[in-house]
Amino acid sequence: MLLALVFIPIAAAIAIWAGSPARLTAIVAGIINLVLGLIAASSWLTNPEIGSVTYSVLSKPDIALSFSLYDGMSVVMLLLSVIVLAAAVFSGQCPAGREKLWYSNTLLIAAGAIGAFLSDDLFFFYAFHELALIPTFILIGTLGRRNRKAAAWKITIYLAFGSMVLLAGLLWLVSATEVSSLSFDTLLAASIPGEAQKGIAALLLIGFGTLISLFPFHSWAAPAYASAPAPVAMLHAGVLKKFGLYGLIRLFPLVSEGMQHWLIVLIVLLLGNIIWVGFVTLNQKRLDTMLGNSSVMHMGYVFLAIAALIAAGGEGNSLAIPAAVTLMFAHGVSIALLFALADKVEKQTGTLELQELGGLASKAPTLAFFFGLAGMASIGLPGLANFSGEILVFLSGFANYDPAKGFGPVQIATIIALWGVVISAVYMLRAFRQTFQGPEASSVKSAKNLSLLELAPIGLLTLALLAVGLYPNLILQLLK
Amino acid sequence: MDITWLLFLLPIASAAIGWLLLNKQHTLAAYLSTASVIATFVISVSMLLAGKDTQASFNWASVGDFHVKIGFMADQMARGMMIVVTGVGMLVHVFSLPYMKKDAAKARYFACLSLFMFSMTGIVLSDNFLMTFMFWELVGLSSYLLIGHWYQKESAADAAKKAFLTNRIGDFGFMIGILMIWGIAGSVSFAGIADWASHVGTLTPLMTATLGAATLCIFCGAIGKSAQMPLHVWLPDAMEGPTPVSALIHAATMVAAGIFMMVRFFTCFETGEAHGAPEADHAAVSLIPSFAWTTIAVIGIVTSLAAAFMATQQDDIKKILAYSTLSQLGYMVMAVGLQGSEASMFHLYTHAWFKALLFLGSGAVIYACHHEQNIWKMGGLLKKMPITAITFLIATLALAGFPMTAGFFSKEQILHVANHQGGMLFFIPTVLVAILTTFYMFRLVFVVFFGKNRSENAEHAHEVGPLMFIPLIALTVMAVIAGYEGIAGQMAPLFHHEKVNFGSIEFLSSIGAFIVGLVLAFVFYFNKDEDKLSGNVLSKVFANKFYIDEFYAKLVRVFQDAVAAVVHFFDEILIGGILVGGLSRSAAGFGALFRRLHSGNLQGYATLFGAGALLIIYLTVFVF
Amino acid sequence: MPAFYLEIALVVLGLVLLMVEAFGPSKSKTYLGWLSLTGVLAIFAALFTVCPSASCSCDQLTRFYEFDSQAKFYKGFALITTALVILLSLEYRGTIKKFTTGTEEGSGEFYILPLFACAGMMLMASAKDLISIFVAIELVTITFYILVAYMRRNVGSLEAGVKYLILGALSTGILVYGIAWIYGITGTTELALIAERIPSLEGSRAPLLFGLALMVLAIGFKIGAVPMQLWIPDVYQGAPTPITAFLSVGSKAAGFAVALRLFEPFFGASLTSGPLLSLLLVLAALTILVGNLAALAQKNFKRLLGYSSIANAGFLLLAMAAWQPQGSESALSTYEVVSFYLITYLIMTMAAFFFLVTVYNTTGKETIASFNGLAKRNPLLALIGTIILSSLAGLPLTAGFYGKFYVFKSAISAASSGHPALWWAIAFGLVGAAAGFYYYFQTIRAMYWNDPKDPSKIPVSKISLALLVIAALALVVFGFYPQPLLDLAAAK
Amino acid sequence: MATLHEYLFVSGLLFAIGLAGVIARRNIIVIFMCLEMMLSAANLTLVAFSRFNTAETGLPDYDGQMLVFFIITVAAAEVAVGLAIIVALYRARQTVNVNDLTSLRG
């Protein structure tokens, strides 16, 4: 079943390429995947081996094309991927005549993400992520908006650079563990001498960090998401970016000691994400770049949980990982929803310049409702998924707080990071105010409300946000 | 299942149904919402009469053995507060039915009201800080939605945004406070904190300071929600919302949530009561260092005084009431800070009724005057709409602390606390605020209801319909009787008050303040067509709210927008341009250099070959 | 059957075909291509019937000639490459015709001369004596002089020929001078004896290293390592495309086969292993850097492939700098890494040249701009091109990734276990690999982002199409399932 | 009799002169001649080493001299091919000056 989850999008992409009706095939594949993903996730609770497959592909080192739901984190990420994919195939405005390119590449991006999250072999975990690189490059560069070419270059070069550094880190990690198999089971059972850990940790932080748009390796993300067609932005910002976080958390036990050396650096960088990029976001004049930057900013919170995990050291911080994963899920869904909606705004008004927008709510109340909801989610309103994640992250920041000793670096970081919640509220409400409220601008005169079909993906994402927001144990029970 | 859950379920269900399913059937949505609030009121009353503490919770988020719980703790304080919330809420719903009759987005309006009822219920019944925080935010959301109900208006949209953001700043502190308390006490539930406080013994200086800091951080939340200085600026602007909303949210209930929450928090430290040892009444309270208490009290009285001054020079009927609310909230905060939680809660409770009444009354006036809000364009309305006028007058008396009205008793308590716990430093400003309160309220009454009609709208005004004046009358009743022990004592023990001592300095200054304020107002404003006091420097300062809004606007422009612009600039220049751009440029530069080596000239190649060969040989033989 | 019969057979076949060319029908010469292709394939088949030297009863040439698994691999490699080059030449015949006599008549030798080069490469794979190494290398080089300059009415081809000639002869000079010194110091030209004698030559370290450096330089010319890479872009650009492919795949692989054999004795002795390692490390770092960075702004696709071949040489040198003669349970030996890398390199590079020739045959240009809008002109070709270029860039899930994977893996494990200087080379390698994404993607970008000037379809010949599809499939399939490649590379 | 070092010195000189010629001259024919000179230098080195490296039998080690024959042969082939190319070039471009051969660059 897991094999199907990965290969259905690929097969659909091939089918589209070979001539089957593009949109229909993509939608069918997306829905089948969603259903399969939900089934897999729910049956995982009773049968953790569900759908595992292993095909050895290389003997030296031992590499296997091996899929399994390795732990709850994989399950959550799988859910995120299938949900966002199902929404992404519905979203966006494909220019006539380019359906093949649009849908097949969208599916390939998703296949890469799903493959990475399901692989329980380090090699394919890495490899599947890269699968998404080319379709992203092609789609942004060919069918994106505004500075599409520059943005596509930027994202590609950054990600290539990040992947290379990451590759070096992973290879070092593998050679330091002195195991012959790259399966997570074997790797995680090994240990790495402290000396090597420091270097490996640095490479992993830079490598994964670039993929996650950790400050100061973040400047690719906002322009790329702003220029990308909606499905690409949704899948990339929503799902693929989580790959790096997933990897960091997954491999963390191997380099926990080494990470300690970089704790302060990481904290400074993550605050750079939250505060620095937060301010950058404040200064955006367009809806798309604003959303792009906001997604960069929010990565800081996940890093905060990771920093808490690092700082806890031997004591352990049982909150940090569930917090990070919940927030990853929540952010993925909410940012995908926001990009989908921003695309609708552009479709209705023809612009995303905040200056040219205004009063859209009276023409398109449903759109306004969902955008408001997604915006509120992204600024952490209780009852929506992001809050569940953020609150747990903040709690994890204080989980190892000893009042008798005063604040440690992580507590101080948590407090500063909390200011980011204010910043994000400022830019999000500003954007909402500028876009939907106030008197009608000339650009919205001919705008229409969302149609029922357009509502489908949005409703799906909203449902996910609400479900996890209202009852986070839905996710957390997977993360025990 | 406990019936208390219905208090949550009914409003949220009506909100969801009203907004999502009934957005075409406006009237149905309105009735649904009203029905739900009536039901919750009935439940609240039944709970109050049952007089039983109930408690239940479920795990909302659990990680290992750490659980974030959602549940309720219906103790006496919560039950009493529920009466206020659902009672005022119910009347406001009823009042809204005619008031919002012609509004195109009635369904949304009532859905938001229901959402508010849900959120407020959550705060009141919450048994732990995290749950409080969640509903705290949701209350902020419903307030945002309701202030921005007429979002097409620039001012309404801006006011809504301002309210939300200002509250966010407070919540920033609140969350830090919660986290710190969690770190210190090891629990976020009120019971857990109380348990910790009663067992902890003495604290190290660092712990004490941390606890004080945590207290102040939590207080930040209250500053935001209860609109204390320096985050008070949103509340007057919030009057952009429909008037019934102002009555419910921005006068009676939500703004009181800050007070309620602080009292809840401090109650945790009053272990004397919890453990039945009255003499240890303030033993655990003393865990919290005095700097925290003092800060709270000072912020309260400063807000109270400043807002009272501002109120004297406003011309918008709702703004006057808004500043009055600020001022009264300042009273309550001061009382909390002076460790007079009982007085504070008592005033909160009485204030809710008559301030809601004032707002609804003003709503009726505005409605009657075709949405005219400037008091100088009204006048003589006593004859046009007697019921409204009389109820409004009674509410004014209550607010001014006229003897035997509800406000009289609670203000007495506040004065008592100020005098006994705070000393002259607090007492004199408190009395001054009392004078000012009477002054500006009667200014309002004289200008609006007496004299002659000063505009066409006022001339054509007529009494409102029964659905509007029935709530007014109901509230009037409460404004009069709510202060008596028989009623107040029913609500909760915290409202319990000492007998009024007619010879005490508090009583005398209360009466004195009332008389002075009334006389001044009469002299300056009775039968006047314009404000004689306006125009001088001082009144300009008051009218312009001490220029605090302007100052904030500048502050935001400089510290947020300018910094954002600078950071954005550096982000592109420094990181995008120099760091990354520099890397890629140097790569390209080296690339160009390398390409130039391939000049196509054979001689050049031979030279480079030779040079390279020599270098390699040198390196190999002599270096490596 | 002794192995050297294969080379002899190849040379004889070449001579016979030359006779046929001279005296046979002159209208069409394509049949010569097919004949020579058949011959190469037949010899490839015969390769599997040859017994290894160790178990062979014959004792001819044993001093000069080794036939072990490595030799077998590189012989097979040379034969396959030659077969593909001949096929590519057949595809390219229009251009050859145009720039030689204007008729088919002039193109006959073009299909035959590769046989001699192939024989040279096969010899290189087996040579284990400095003399046979020299002779083998020269056989290849001289054949290539002719092939590069084959299109004698094309100024570019002639210019490339002259450049290759002069610089090639220069490297020959350097090679023999180096051989002379090594011979002088060790007193032998046999690699096995050299290995025995080096440890006792403490006193002659400097002249030994002098000779070694000269030989490294000369080998560097073959494989395109800095500073001997200068000829590559010009010659690659000017030479007939099949010959460019031949140079870039066959000649380079043979160069590495020689390098592996040649360096083994020097790596084996502590006297020379340190300097050699440092030398290779520096060369690797510089080669990667020069190859990748110079390619960044390249506008000509063929020339780009030239830089790319320099870059790939750099990665292979990096693998050699991380010298690891014995594999382990989890790691490959240097021989296996290089072989593995070369297999993937063969597939991708040959495919890239077929791709180029296909587009060139229609557009008449070799610039990146000539790929503009290929996604619209021939989507299948664009897809295949994307796969090939991704593989060249080293994208995971394509075969091209594994080569780099093994190179970096062995380099990193050497770096973290005692050769920290390698980190620098690895860092350059990472920069280079990232830059690689940029310039390979330039072409993908041209295919998808840009609009074609001429929107007409691009036809693909059946042979090219079949080969391209097979290559693209192979790249993807091996991307998921690389074990067969490893089995090939590590075959004993 | 001249010592090994003297031979090596001369041959080294010859090699250097050849290299210098390749670098300095512009005429392809001359360059080609210089290249041949470099090969001769190598030959001289080989012969010298061969003379002074005695084998176990006491005779000079003839391996070096054998290699010299190979080199001479190869050089002859190289010259044949090389001159043909140069002639072709001259026919096409009417020049044998290396400075005129810069159409392939960058």
Q: What is the pLDDT of residues A170-179, one digit of tens each?
A: 988 988 888 8
Give the count of Cβ contacts less than 8 A between chain C and D.
139
Does pLDDT of B610 surpass 80? yes
Q: List the one residue out of A259, A291, A293 whose CA is nearest residue A276.
A: A293
Is residue B473 a contact partner of residue B364, using CB atoms and an 8 Å limit?
Answer: no
Q: Which of C263, C279, C314 is where one domain is finished?
A: C263
Q: How confident is the model over C104-159, as pLDDT tens digits?
A: 777 888 999 999 999 999 999 999 899 999 999 999 999 999 999 998 888 889 99
Other beta carbons within 10 angstroms of residue B590's beta carbon come to 18
The DSSP symbol for B232 reads T
- Distance (Å, whole) CA C208 – CA C65: 24
Does pLDDT of B283 surpass 60? no
- Hey, are the CB atoms on B606 and D23 less than 8 Å from each other? yes
Among B595, B606, B610, select the one facing D106 at the smallest CB separation: B595
Residues C180 and C220 in one domain: yes
Q: What is the mean pLDDT of residues C466-485?
A: 92
Q: How confident is the model over B133-187, as pLDDT tens digits?
A: 999 999 989 889 888 888 888 888 888 888 888 888 888 889 999 998 888 888 8
CB < 8 Å from B in window 31-50 of A: none
Q: How confident is the model over B85-143, as pLDDT tens digits?
A: 888 888 888 888 888 888 888 888 888 888 888 998 888 888 888 889 999 999 989 88
User: Is the CB of residue D106 less than 8 Å away from at least one CB of chain B?
Assistant: yes
Other beta carbons within 10 angstroms of residue A337's beta carbon come to 30
- Hey, are the CB atoms on D98 and B601 less than 8 Å from each other? yes
Confidence of residue B492 (pLDDT cuts 50, 70, 90): low
Q: What percent of chain C has pLDDT over 70?
A: 98
Is residue B31 a contact partner of residue B100, using CB atoms and an 8 Å limit?
Answer: no
Does pLDDT of B275 surpass 50? no
- Distance (Å, whole) CA B237 – CA B314: 13
| Interface residue of C407, C410, C441 to substitute, partner A, most A CBs within 10 Å | C441
Q: List the one residue out of C74, C182, C87 whose CA is nearest residue C131.
A: C182
- According to the model, what pLDDT value does residue B274 have? 42
Pairing outcome for strands A62-67 and A53-59: antiparallel
Residue C235 CB partners (closer than 8 Å, separation 6+) = C148, C160, C163, C164, C244, C247, C306, D104
Chain C adjacent subunits, 3+ CB pairs under 8 A: A, B, D
Is residue A385 a contact partner of residue A472, using CB atoms and an 8 Å limit?
Answer: yes
User: Is the CB of residue A353 less than 8 Å away from at least one CB of chain C?
Assistant: no
Residue C190, SS3 per DSSP: strand
Number of alpha carbons in the 13 Å side-chain half-sphere of residue C442: 18
Q: What is the mean pLDDT of residues C264-274?
A: 88
Domain assignment present for residue A409? The answer is: yes
Q: Which of C247, C263, C279 is where one domain is finished?
A: C263
pTM score of the predicted model: 0.89
Residues C254 and C273 in one domain: no
Confidence of residue B398 (pLDDT cuts 50, 70, 90): confident
Burial (Cβ within 10 Å: 0-12, 13-18, ≥19) of residue A43: middle
- According to the model, what pLDDT value does residue B282 have? 47
Chain center to CA of B149: 18
Q: Which of C225, C242, C263 is where one domain is finished?
A: C263
User: Is the CB of residue B582 less than 8 Å away from at least one CB of chain C?
Assistant: no
Give me chain A's average pLDDT, please: 88
- Hey, are the CB atoms on C134 and D38 less than 8 Å from each other? no
Does pLDDT of C430 surpass 50? yes
Domain assignment present for residue A341? The answer is: yes
- Distance (Å, whole) CA C473 – CA C490: 22
Q: What percent of chain D has pLDDT over 70?
A: 99
Number of H helices, E strands in chain B: 28, 2
Does pLDDT of C179 surpass 90? yes
- Distance (Å, whole) CA A471 – CA B12: 15
Residues C283 and C365 in one domain: yes
User: Is the CB of residue D17 less than 8 Å away from at least one CB of chain B?
Assistant: no
- According to the model, what pLDDT value does residue C215 have? 92
How is chain C split among helix, strand and coil, in percent rounded to 5? 80, 0, 20
Q: What is the mean pLDDT of residues A341-362?
A: 85
Q: B601 to chain D: which residues are within 8 Å by CB?
A: 98-99, 101-102, 105
Q: How confident is the model over B336-394, as pLDDT tens digits?
A: 888 878 888 888 888 888 888 888 888 888 888 777 788 777 777 777 788 888 888 88
Beta bridge partners of B66: B63
Chain B adjacent subunits, 3+ CB pairs under 8 A: A, C, D
| Interface ipTM above 0.90 | no
Does pLDDT of D32 surpass 50? yes
Q: D106 to chain B: which residues are within 8 Å by CB?
A: 595, 598, 600
Among C444, C483, C490, select the one facing A57 at the smallest CB separation: C483
Pick A349 or B459 by higher pLDDT.
A349
The shortest C-alpha distance from B592 to chain C (Å) reads 6
Chain center to CA of C413: 26
Place of tokens 């004896």: C193
Q: How confident is the model over A280-315, as pLDDT tens digits?
A: 888 888 888 899 999 999 999 999 999 998 888 777
Q: B599 to chain D: which residues are within 8 Å by CB?
A: 102, 105
- Distance (Å, whole) CA B76 – CA B73: 9
- According to the model, what pLDDT value does residue C391 have? 92
Give the structural domain span for C445.
Answer: 269-492
Alpha-helical runs (H) found in B526-601: 537-543, 548-555, 563-570, 581-597
Identify the top-confidence range among A187-191, B419-423, C52-56: A187-191
Q: Token pair of A333, please?
A: 């869904």
Domain assignment present for residue A62? The answer is: no
Report yes or no on chains D and A touching (3+ CB pairs under 8 A). Answer: no
Buried b (16+ CB within 10 A) or exposed e, C80-113: bbbbbbbbbbbbbbebbbebbeeebebbbbbbbb
Residue C151, SS3 per DSSP: coil
| Interface residue of B65, B168, B206 to substitute, partner A, most A CBs within 10 Å | B168
- Number of separate domains in chain A: 1
Q: D98 to chain B: which residues are within 8 Å by CB?
A: 601-603
Q: A141 to chain C: which residues are within 8 Å by CB?
A: 445, 448-449
Is residue C437 a contact partner of residue A160, using CB atoms and an 8 Å limit?
Answer: yes
Confidence of residue B271 (pLDDT cuts 50, 70, 90): low
Q: Token pair of B155, please?
A: 């001012």
Among the ranges given (A202-206, A297-301, B485-489, D102-106), the one the predictor scored with the smallest mean pLDDT:
B485-489
Region for residue C362 given its phi and psi (left: phi exceeds 0; alpha: psi -120 to 50; beta: otherwise): alpha
Alpha-helical runs (H) found in C239-269: 241-245, 252-268
DSSP letters along B301-329, please?
A: HHHHHHHHHHHTT--BHHHHHHHHHHHHH
Buried b (16+ CB within 10 A) or exposed e, B434-446: bbbbbbbbbbbbb
> Helix crossing, A263-271 with A194-212: angle to 10°?
10
Residues C381 and C244 in one domain: no
Q: How confident is the model over A429-451, as pLDDT tens digits?
A: 888 888 888 888 888 788 888 88
Contact residues of C toward A, CB < 8 A:
327, 329-332, 375, 379, 383, 386, 390, 393, 395-397, 401-402, 405, 408-409, 412-413, 416-417, 426, 430-431, 433-434, 437-438, 441, 444-445, 448-449, 479-483, 486, 490
Residues C251 and C344 in one domain: no
Is residue B125 a contact partner of residue B132, using CB atoms and an 8 Å limit?
Answer: no
Domains and CATH numbers, chain D: 26-98 (1.10.287.3510)
Q: What percent of chain B has pLDDT over 70?
A: 95
User: Is the CB of residue A59 less than 8 Å away from at least one CB of chain C?
Assistant: yes
Pairing outcome for strands B54-63 and A62-67: unpaired
Burial (Cβ within 10 Å: 0-12, 13-18, ≥19) of residue C133: buried
Radius of gyration of chain C from its Cα atoms, rounded to whole angstroms: 22
- Distance (Å, whole) CA C31 – CA C90: 10
- Distance (Å, whole) CA C285 – CA C226: 9
Q: How confident is the model over A247-275, as pLDDT tens digits?
A: 999 998 888 888 888 999 999 999 989 98
Confidence of residue B2 (pLDDT cuts 50, 70, 90): confident
Give me chain B's average pLDDT, please: 82
Number of H helices, E strands in chain A: 23, 2
> How many degrees, rounded to 5, is the angle at CA B228 between CA B223 and CA B231?
75
Minimum Cα–Cα distance from D25: chain B residue: B603
User: Is the CB of residue B609 less than 8 Å away from at least one CB of chain C?
Assistant: yes
Does pLDDT of B497 surpass 60? no
- Hey, are the CB atoms on B602 and C209 less than 8 Å from each other? no
- Hey, are the CB atoms on B600 and D104 less than 8 Å from each other? yes
DSSP letters along C108-147, please?
A: HHHHHHHHHHHHHHHHHHHB-BHHHHHHHHHHHHHHHHHH
Domain assignment present for residue A37? The answer is: no
Does pLDDT of B272 surpass 70? no
Chain A adjacent subunits, 3+ CB pairs under 8 A: B, C
Report yes or no on chains A and C touching (3+ CB pairs under 8 A). Answer: yes
CB < 8 Å from B in window 410-439 of A: 411, 414-415, 418-419, 421-422, 425-426, 429-430, 433, 436-439
Q: How confident is the model over C294-328, as pLDDT tens digits?
A: 888 888 999 999 999 999 999 999 999 988 888 88
- Hey, are the CB atoms on C481 and A57 less than 8 Å from each other? yes
Residues C489 and C422 in one domain: yes
Give the DSSP H or E segment for B95.
Answer: helix B76-99
- Number of separate domains in chain C: 2
- Hey, are the CB atoms on A149 and C449 less than 8 Å from each other? yes
Q: What is the mean pLDDT of residues B448-467?
A: 76
Residues C248 and C302 in one domain: no
User: Is the CB of residue D98 less than 8 Å away from at least one CB of chain B?
Assistant: yes
Among C138, C161, C188, select the one facing D85 at the smallest CB separation: C161
User: Is the CB of residue A467 less than 8 Å away from at least one CB of chain B?
Assistant: no
Give the structural domain span for A307.
Answer: 262-480
Residues C259 and C273 in one domain: no
- Hey, are the CB atoms on B172 and A421 less than 8 Å from each other? yes
Minimum Cα–Cα distance from C489: chain A residue: A60
